[in-house]
Structure formats: C-alpha cells, structure tokens
C-alpha cells in the first residue's frame, strides 16, 4: 500500500466529518468525556469503535495482545487508573475475540521469546480452569472456551484494582466481559455473574474502603 494513500484518506475523512457537522473538530478539541473504557486485543480485525458503532470521543481504548490485564503491567494499570479516577468512565469492557492468535499461541508448547511471560498469563488462566477445559474434546471448542475464560479472568483482574473497587461503591461502575465473533461480526455479552464468581474470594481481594 502506498503510504500517501493514508494522508489522502485522512483528508477525505475530514471533509466527510465536516459535511455531517461543521463544528466536529471544534467539539473534539474541547476534550473527552468517554463513558466506556474498552480493553481489547491488538488484532487488526477487531477495532473497538467500529464494532461498537461509536464515534471518536466515546470510548477510552486500551489494546494489547489477547486483551490482558496483568496486575504488574504498568500500561494497563495506568489506563484503568486514568479512565476510572480522572475520566470517570461508568462502564469497563474487556472484549476478547474468537480466533485470537495470542490465546492459540498459549495453547501450544513453543518458546516464543519475549512473548513467553505475556502468554504465561493465559496459561495461568488455563491452569485455573483446567478441569473445565480438559473435559472439552473438540479442540476448536476448547480454544473458544479459553478465549471466554480469559476474558472472565481479565475482568476479575480489573475488579482487583482499588480504583475499580472504589468506583463500584461510589457510583456503581459496571464491568462487562464480551466476545467479538470474528466469523459473524457479532458482539456477544458473556453475562458474567461477578457476584457468584467473587463470592468466595471478595475478602481476599478487597483493598478499597
Ligand atoms: Zn487476539
């Protein structure tokens, strides 16, 4: 692809946006107050705003390989802090997707260098849910289930943070686990029952008053 095409696309986009709303960029320049924090995969086929049908300014986005929220990752922890404490988002979404290369790599036994520690977080999800996963004989179904369980565990990692726990109490912030089905384009709400999942471990992870 000719890189100049990108700048041409940009010019066309500006014209299109101004046709719809001639104040568009004046409004964008005034600042952001997104309602959503979206944590998703870096996969080029899964673009946050497009799949949610939302305009720029509506979603604060964090993407990395396999939509992970490792507790020691300064990047995702800073994003959560900024979104919850400063932007005061009311909804946090962790969105995984079927066909995730990161999750598939974590299911295979190969040395991937610097990716190893990152992918080990997914292997830990497998270990936590080994009984459920080992029961699934069909490899494709097992892969899908791990994608879903990974989303669930990353949601729990979000909930483990003090900022989110405080926002739960102060303003009833909501956390959701979603899957983007790359084969149909459908967004699936996993409807994770956090009350049920967290009932035995709340005491362990509660850190905010
Ligand atoms: Zn992915």
Average pLDDT over residues 82-86: 98
| Residue 97 alpha carbon to ligand 1 centre in Å | 6
Of 78-82, 138-142, 149-153, 192-196, minimum mean pLDDT range:
192-196
pTM for this prediction? 0.95
Cα–Cα distance for residue pair 119/112, rounded to 1 Å: 9
Tell me the chain's radius of gyration from C-alpha atoms: 19
Considering the domain architecture, whether residues 2 and 94 belong to the same structural domain is answered as no
Give the pLDDT confidence of 152-188 residue by residue, as tens digits.
999 999 999 999 999 999 999 999 999 999 999 999 9
Phi, then psi, of 58 in degrees rounded to 5: -95, -20
Is the pLDDT at 209 greater than 80? The verdict is: no
What residues pack around ion ligand 1 (CB closer than 5 A)? Answer: 41, 43, 100, 102
Considering the domain architecture, whether residues 23 and 60 belong to the same structural domain is answered as no
Domain around 12:
1-31
Q: Is 62 a catalytic residue?
A: no
| Residue 68 alpha carbon to ligand 1 centre in Å | 10
| Residue 180 alpha carbon to ligand 1 centre in Å | 10
Considering the domain architecture, whether residues 23 and 88 belong to the same structural domain is answered as no
Considering the domain architecture, whether residues 91 and 184 belong to the same structural domain is answered as yes
Q: Work out how many domains the chain is built from and give that number.
A: 2
Considering the domain architecture, whether residues 95 and 192 belong to the same structural domain is answered as yes
Annotated active-site residue in 45, 120, 123, 171 = 45
pLDDT at site 162: 95
DSSP 83: I
Contact 44, 180 (CB under 8 A): no
Average pLDDT over residues 48-64: 94
Considering the domain architecture, whether residues 13 and 67 belong to the same structural domain is answered as no
Q: Is 41 a catalytic residue?
A: yes
Q: Name the nearest CA neighbour of 67 among 12, 119, 135.
A: 119
Considering the domain architecture, whether residues 164 and 175 belong to the same structural domain is answered as yes
pLDDT at site 149: 98
Residue 63's H or E segment, with its range, is: strand 59-64
Q: Is 95 a catalytic residue?
A: no
Q: Name the nearest CA neighbour of 90 among 202, 192, 176, 172.
A: 172
- How remote is the C-alpha of 118 from its chain's centroid? 15
Considering the domain architecture, whether residues 26 and 125 belong to the same structural domain is answered as no
Considering the domain architecture, whether residues 103 and 165 belong to the same structural domain is answered as yes
CATH code at 63? Answer: 3.40.1050.10
Considering the domain architecture, whether residues 20 and 37 belong to the same structural domain is answered as no
Considering the domain architecture, whether residues 196 and 119 belong to the same structural domain is answered as yes
Contact 121, 68 (CB under 8 A): yes
Cα–Cα distance for residue pair 41/66, rounded to 1 Å: 5
Q: Is 100 a catalytic residue?
A: yes
Considering the domain architecture, whether residues 183 and 195 belong to the same structural domain is answered as yes
């Amino acid at each position: 692809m000719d890189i100049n095409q990108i700048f041409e696309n940009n010019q066309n986009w500006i014209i299109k946006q101004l046709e719809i709303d001639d104040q568009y960029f004046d409004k964008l320049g005034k600042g952001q107050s997104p309602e959503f924090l979206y944590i998703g995969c870096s996969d080029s086929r899964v673009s946050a705003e497009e799949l949610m049908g939302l305009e720029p300014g509506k979603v604060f986005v964090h993407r990395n390989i396999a939509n992970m929220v490792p507790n020691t990752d300064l990047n995702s922890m800073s994003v959560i802090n900024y979104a919850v404490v400063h932007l005061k988002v009311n909804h946090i979404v962790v969105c995984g997707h079927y066909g995730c290369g990161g999750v598939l790599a974590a299911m295979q036994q190969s040395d991937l260098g610097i990716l190893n520690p990152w992918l080990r977080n997914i292997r830990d999800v497998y270990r936590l849910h080994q009984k459920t996963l080992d029961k699934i004989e069909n490899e494709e179904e097992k892969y899908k289930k791990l994608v879903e369980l990974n989303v669930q565990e990353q949601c729990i990692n979000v909930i483990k943070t003090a900022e989110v726990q405080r926002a739960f109490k102060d303003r009833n912030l909501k956390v959701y686990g979603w899957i983007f089905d790359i084969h149909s384009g459908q967004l699936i709400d996993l409807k994770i029952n956090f009350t049920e999942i967290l009932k035995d471990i709340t005491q362990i992870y509660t850190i905010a008053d």
